Chain A
């Protein structure tokens, strides 16, 4: 059953722009991305929007829908009330390029700052042995589709542009946690650099990243807080530090 849907779509570029009203047909079972495509094909041929898989697996169609960071391909029209106007804007933590498309290069720069996985040099390809229980924690973080919604919602950079240089953001905290929990990674200073280089201490664990994650990765509980605790082990807790020196305990390096 088709119906007319009232939408407000942000149109503009880096210097100017605003919300424009459109009325567009919506069918049962459609998602916001479907109606945006219909607007594009019928009313605004040059409306800029990023998308790829349209199945919640690539993380391209990130935008803000009624003020909330969402994937447009995963937001059903039926989740809004019949008379509700749906407001669609670009991500508000990043520079806008045009319409619903933002410049997310910040995230790629941050990706380049996290030291890569370091495989043991004595293990040739095919010799690695890892148990399932030892890889599961890191596997959760590798589910990340890099939609950057967590980066967008994080107030540390959303509300403070100046923090961008010193803060990697939730997406890269899970990357650091993934590597620090990787059973074979040989780089041993990830805990320290998480705090000193990547700004883990800036996070005040208000959990908005976990709330918006379309993959339901428990970013705060399973990555950020465990990393904060690991940082305490090596930087702030004299007993843990002493313990690691005396017993050479595993896990605290």
Chain B
């Protein structure tokens, strides 16, 4: 084995999205040396795709807003499956996180008084989302990217090297989290550009790798969303919590391919889009009248809640009444004039016209469910973001579970990144300062290196692209937006089969920037995530938030008391039930008891929250 590149740091952050960068800033401010590792170029993380805004109860637009209201909204959105402490910390701290961004140069849209403007969003009682047009995610990423540069400039003045204390390793894939004596010792990976292997030694690792969308055929996520962090954590001995909960957006574009997965915002339906093809208005004429006279007409079906729209689309497609690409048509051109569409939905119109030549003022959009966000993720201690069971491992952002329960409210993800990114940074820093550093053994390095080399040593094996396509087909059809026990059983068997075949993936070409090679590792991660999701989903015999069972359509308070914990035994994922922590009295009392009756069991109501 040739000598490999080696680095030593105090904190390693995997992922340069919102959570990763926020964690890195915090760790550097604690005077630690930080490495940020990302698969893409710096600043390209999926966070840039977030449009709506960041939820924070600053009360700039409506003074009645406060953390308690935000907490209530979040718990309701998550159907009370949220870890109460995470939802509490999130609601309390997000205003400070937003204000802090402003001191780093962020320029949010303003109110008349010159404060940060806040907009309404589904599930939030008051206008709460700090935003910059429809590019809030980009603003967050850029602000933190520039904050990191600011810190590097400080270090440059002090130490003569801008990269003395914080360095970005862009386009580097982490293949393994290394442990020695049961605690974190570093990470192993390779440069995507050269294929050269790199060892990072550090007592703490923060996982902030985002989502798992690429496990599914149609997704709004980019290629990076391959569940790397979920899989790395599992393999390192951490747990995943509630992996059955995925947010599918019912109306994502399915065709043409250039816009596949892109969300058609709910406002399209709100503005009068017709979903061609129930218990609401049963004809278009009545639906049309509802917009003018809402008292005497039934509302059109497209304004049903997200989950119900999803179910309706799914049943149409599965009954063979869908389009040839597996979607349904969404048409705004029927009810609104071209002018009105362009005025009310400018970015939608522009996006589809520019990306696919589809003019939504003239023709229907072909839409279907698209995988958007995973609520499940690494099981963490809420206050420190420390991964349960692995000393030195932390997780924040989409990769961490618990915060959003069974369904995430729009706008809560950007604030989640900031709140828990910072907490992970603090948690990791405190741990790193006290930790015993254990050097990585040569035998561990050798094993990690061999795993990277493996796909090249096989000849004529499976093609990673086609295996990935097969996996996506299975997950989309069987573990998708609407599930049944039988389908999930089939999915589990077929995923296991692909997993077996994936051990035989071979790669053509060299190590030099070879996407086929990169996919071989991503594939392994996605298989673990898919297995975890399918196995959690088959156990949960109810429908709640992002988990919809056709064979168990209702929500059941008994199931609310249970989290599903996934762990990995080296060959397969095992899922077990674990009791959800009970809500303490002071938070319990924030709700009206009649509302709680919807979610909690009679026993729980009788107790009235834990003391």
Contact = CB atoms under 8 A, between A and B. Distances in A.
Q: Do A and B bind each other?
A: yes
Contacts of B135: 57, 143
B150 A116 contact: yes
B74 to A, nearest CB: 21
Nearest to B135: A143
Contacts of A59: 44
Interface stretch (B75-83, B307-315, B383-391, B510-518): B510-518
A34 B223 CA distance: 13
Given A112-B152, A130-B110, A52 B46 contact: yes
A57 B146 contact: no
Interface string B127-170: 00000110100110010001101101100100000100000101
B41 interface: yes
B100 interface: yes
Interface string B3-41: 000000000000000000000000000000000000011
A112 B153 contact: yes
A56 to B, nearest CB: 7
Contact of A45 (B40, B142, B147, B465): B465
Interface in A120-178: 123, 125-126, 128-132, 135, 138-139, 142-146
A53 interface: yes
B151 to A, nearest CB: 9
Contact of A48 (B110, B150, B514): B514
Nearest to B132: A139
A51 B223 contact: yes
The interface size bin for chain A is 35 or more
A55 B262 contact: yes
B152 A29 contact: no
B139 to A, nearest CB: 6
The interface size bin for chain B is 35 or more
Contacts, number: 176
A176 to B, nearest CB: 13
Given A57-B138, A142-B107, A30 B258 contact: yes
Contact of B513 (A41, A48, A126, A182): A48
Interface stretch (B279-287, B349-357, B493-501): B349-357
Contact of A52 (B40, B107, B146, B193): B40
Contacts of A132: 109-110
Contacts of A52: 40, 44, 46, 222-224
A145 B58 CA distance: 28
Interface string B245-288: 00000000001111100100000000000000000000000000
Contacts of A34: 257-258
Nearest to A119: B103
Given A117-B150, A139-B107, A145 B259 contact: no
Contacts of A45: 463, 465, 507-509, 514-516
B509 A46 contact: yes
Contacts of B95: 126
A242 interface: no
B102 A29 contact: no
A147 to B, nearest CB: 10
A139 B511 CA distance: 41
A28 interface: yes
A163 B193 CA distance: 26
B512 A13 contact: yes
A64 interface: no
Contact of A27 (B102, B104, B256): B256
Contact of B41 (A98, A104, A129): A104
A202 interface: no
Contacts of A101: 193, 513
B513 A29 contact: no
Nearest to A13: B512
B115 interface: yes
Contacts of A114: 149
A148 B86 CA distance: 39
Given A28-B256, A54-B222, A60-B41, A78 B357 contact: yes
A74 B138 contact: no
Given A46-B515, A97-B513, A57 B49 contact: yes
B99 interface: yes
B258 A53 contact: no
Counting chain A CB atoms within 10 Å of each CB, the highest count among B42, B102, B509 belongs to: B102
B358 interface: yes
B357 A76 contact: yes
A29 B465 contact: no
B402 interface: no
A47 interface: yes
A125 B103 contact: yes
A18 to B, nearest CB: 17
A22 interface: no
Interface string B348-388: 00010011111000000000000000000000000000000
A94 to B, nearest CB: 12
Given A58-B44, A76-B258, A117-B146, 18 more contacts: A27-B256, A34-B258, A40-B465, A52-B224, A54-B222, A58-B48, A58-B49, A59-B44, A60-B44, A74-B355, A97-B193, A111-B146, A116-B147, A125-B103, A126-B99, A130-B110, A144-B142, A146-B43
13 contacts: A29-B257, A29-B358, A30-B258, A34-B257, A45-B507, A46-B510, A76-B356, A76-B357, A78-B357, A112-B156, A119-B104, A130-B110, A143-B138
What 10 A-B pairs come out closest when comparing CB atoms? A29-B256, A46-B509, A117-B105, A116-B150, A129-B114, A125-B99, A48-B513, A126-B99, A45-B516, A98-B513
Interface of B: 40-44, 46, 48-49, 58, 95-96, 99-100, 102-105, 107, 109-110, 113-115, 132-133, 135, 138-139, 142, 146-147, 149-150, 152-153, 156, 162, 168, 170, 193, 222-224, 255-259, 262, 351, 354-358, 463, 465, 507-510, 512-517
